[in-house]
Chains A and B, each alone.
Chain A
């Protein structure tokens, strides 16, 4: 079975960078908003979701996180928040809601790669 990684970010360039970084080793799917992300999760069952917090639209990153972690079918998916919000309070909030990792933009691609490698 393919190991899918879902990249959720409204910035196409960021999605592209991450896609280039991970695409050699994993199968990448992309979503530019929360609704598209939930759809992709149901359809592809990714093993990792890299999730931006602030996104335009009705569902933001934290709500996507809630949806993943509250559903027994999806709560084993590893979720890493990739966000510009670097406050400790933001980090704590994400932790509380079940995030598995927290990367602050601009993130180190090596750190992301290593984290995924360690956890897969």
Chain B
């Protein structure tokens, strides 16, 4: 200050004044920001619904997920049970409200209960939650059961209520943690919930939390919530947060977090410390609301846009969003997933015949059943009328695709009681996996769809995608089968049945073949199964009967007089009241002796007939038509039992015949069947005979008639007379 300068005083004052002015400007800016945030906060609370505020959010979420909930006042008086009409209330009778917890618990538990209630009374809604076990006496539950409980105080009007979330106790050492984890897993709210252990490590998350954070559950569990940290808060923020949480027992406020994809978002978090009766910290329960969509209307629209209104499941749009998020963020580490495409079988007829109301109920039930066998982290979406998609995410889960598909199938097996109907339906499930089957979402979906079609085509319950599959070449066979007759795609071939001694033709079995215009020859076992399932077997079988009878007439006219014509019939045909008349008419029109027609029933179906109604068989026998049991030995019926149908022939199944040469057991079985047949006066036909050795064994055992590649492949009607000539001259 040695050198005098031109009066610094005014300039110093000026600069201070202008500096203060800048402070005022910034302050103004901050206040505006603050008021905007407050406004946002108000909207958020509004959007969270009615009374749900701050701490109450957690109770609201848990109330929707806990198996049981009791609500008491601070004296332990039970005010009501559950909330939102909680459906899962198997034990709590109507009489419970009005009682006190003390009345339901043994005396030695009263002191601890009193202490807990006193703590809630003293600390109010901010008190930490209490985890304990409640050994209810027989009054509340049939035998007296111990429940794991989580008690959370909640402000209602001017008073405090205590919500006791209950789950039947598992009496293991890690029971309290398991119980809390179960609560979190089953929290199907759109709001996130997570549980961390006393050291802050995440122990469980619900599906919504995964969706909000963009992480998979296996990426979060075992980690510190710090991995979500946005870097927007100073250390002091987290220090204050922990101090408050540890001091008061709960904390709520807004936090900036970072999604897996890097996006920073604002979250409203409520965290509650969970203590046991000894005052030890068991863990921390946190709820998180994504505030990215703060406008309540937008939020509601978002929910609507992503939900299937009928089943409440995520819809196609949600699925696409989910996949693009997961596949989009996974390019670095190739986050694997498996996509199951599920299409219901036999749903269309239900919808068509019983009406949409029934169809809708069926879809709801299907959604419920499938949801039950999936984990909370799996995504189940309804993507079309009767189409569902399951996404199994993460390396371990993706590997379980086939098991999960099995579980889904099993879940659909029990018949569904819908109104007066008992409905049975199944599903075809196709699976494509990322990254091995497809690099992007569209291809993945397409390939899973192709795999599903393949499963349908081959009548399999489940099919993995294979590079050879292309959905364009895989038409809907079940649908096409109904038109196959009109289009002339169904033909009959005739397989000779030959007398084993002199190779003379005994007769032939008429076999249906289907040449599909796109896929070509369809494996008979596949389309017969399809026809049985869809009911198309009745028109197909009837057509075959009429057609074969005309053919037999033609052969007889050509001089083949003593041929027997065998034909498979289905139980569905037999149940059709028109069937007997049709048989009678076909025989009469073609002037055929009834004994020249042999109707074959497979063993399983014959068993069903014996159990239900044998009248159609009796009527056929009265007509003089022969009855054969096909594939004998493939099921578990005794011949004596089957013979109540007064059968005329018995066909040894092909599997048994194939083993004849090498297996003494097979020889013993066939020997036995032939002997019994002879004793009962039933003709025995061996089918699937492929070589001379087998024919020789059968001949030695006394089997008179054989059928199979050895004596002749199935041939067209035109070729058969030639065979007859060959065999008669042989």
Q: Which A residues are closer than 8 A to B by beta carbons?
A: 11, 13-14, 17, 25, 56, 84, 105-110, 117
B26 and A110 contact, CB distance less than 8 A = yes
Nearest residue, chain A, Cβ from B2: A56
Within B10-34, which residues are at the interface with A (CB < 8 Å)?
12, 15-16, 18-23, 25-26, 29-30
Chain A residue contacts of B25, Cβ below 8 A: 108
Nearest residue, chain A, Cβ from B26: A110
CA A109 to CA B27, docked complex, whole Å: 9
B29 and A106 contact, CB distance less than 8 A = no
Chain B residue contacts of A11, Cβ below 8 A: 12, 15-16
CA A109 to CA B1, docked complex, whole Å: 29
The 13 sampled A-B contact pairs (Cβ below 8 Å) are: A11-B16, A13-B16, A13-B19, A14-B15, A14-B19, A17-B19, A25-B236, A84-B15, A106-B15, A106-B19, A106-B21, A110-B26, A117-B234
CA A106 to CA B11, docked complex, whole Å: 13
CA A48 to CA B25, docked complex, whole Å: 25
Chain A residue contacts of B15, Cβ below 8 A: 11, 14, 84, 105-106
**A83 to B: closest C-beta gap in Å:** 11
**A35 to B: closest C-beta gap in Å:** 14
Given contacts A25-B236, A106-B21, contact A14 B26 (CB under 8 A): no
Q: Which B residues are closer than 8 A to A by beta carbons?
A: 1, 12, 15-16, 18-23, 25-26, 29-30, 234, 236
Contact of A110 (CB < 8 Å), options: B20, B21, B29, B234: B29
Chain A residue contacts of B19, Cβ below 8 A: 13-14, 17, 105-107
A106 and B18 contact, CB distance less than 8 A = yes
Chain B residue contacts of A107, Cβ below 8 A: 19, 22
CA A106 to CA B25, docked complex, whole Å: 11
Chain B residue contacts of A117, Cβ below 8 A: 234
Chain A residue contacts of B23, Cβ below 8 A: 17, 109
Chain A residue contacts of B29, Cβ below 8 A: 110
Chain B residue contacts of A56, Cβ below 8 A: 1
CA A14 to CA B15, docked complex, whole Å: 9
CA A84 to CA B16, docked complex, whole Å: 11
**A108 to B: closest C-beta gap in Å:** 6
**A119 to B: closest C-beta gap in Å:** 12
Given contacts A25-B236, A56-B1, contact A109 B16 (CB under 8 A): no
CA A108 to CA B25, docked complex, whole Å: 8
Chain A residue contacts of B18, Cβ below 8 A: 105-106
CA A94 to CA B196, docked complex, whole Å: 50
Contact of B22 (CB < 8 Å), options: A13, A84, A106: A106
A108 and B26 contact, CB distance less than 8 A = yes
Chain A residue contacts of B20, Cβ below 8 A: 17
Given contacts A11-B15, A11-B16, A14-B16, contact A109 B22 (CB under 8 A): yes
Chain A residue contacts of B22, Cβ below 8 A: 106-109
Chain B residue contacts of A14, Cβ below 8 A: 15-16, 19
CA A109 to CA B23, docked complex, whole Å: 6
Nearest residue, chain A, Cβ from B23: A109
CA A106 to CA B384, docked complex, whole Å: 64
Chain B residue contacts of A25, Cβ below 8 A: 234, 236
**B234 to A: closest C-beta gap in Å:** 6
Top 3 A-B residue pairs of the complex, sorted by shortest distance between their CB atoms: A106-B22, A106-B19, A106-B18
**B504 to A: closest C-beta gap in Å:** 101
**A48 to B: closest C-beta gap in Å:** 14
Query: A56-B1, A106-B21 known; 5 other A-B pairs, CB under 8 Å?
Result: A106-B15, A107-B19, A107-B22, A108-B22, A110-B30
Nearest residue, chain A, Cβ from B3: A56
Nearest residue, chain A, Cβ from B22: A106
**B608 to A: closest C-beta gap in Å:** 79
Q: Most B CB atoms within 10 A — which of A11, A110, A117?
A: A110
Chain B residue contacts of A108, Cβ below 8 A: 22, 25-26
CA A7 to CA B679, docked complex, whole Å: 116
Chain A residue contacts of B236, Cβ below 8 A: 25
Nearest residue, chain A, Cβ from B233: A117
Q: Most A CB atoms within 10 A — which of B21, B22, B234?
A: B22
Chain B residue contacts of A109, Cβ below 8 A: 22-23, 26
CA A107 to CA B25, docked complex, whole Å: 11
CA A44 to CA B234, docked complex, whole Å: 22
**B238 to A: closest C-beta gap in Å:** 13
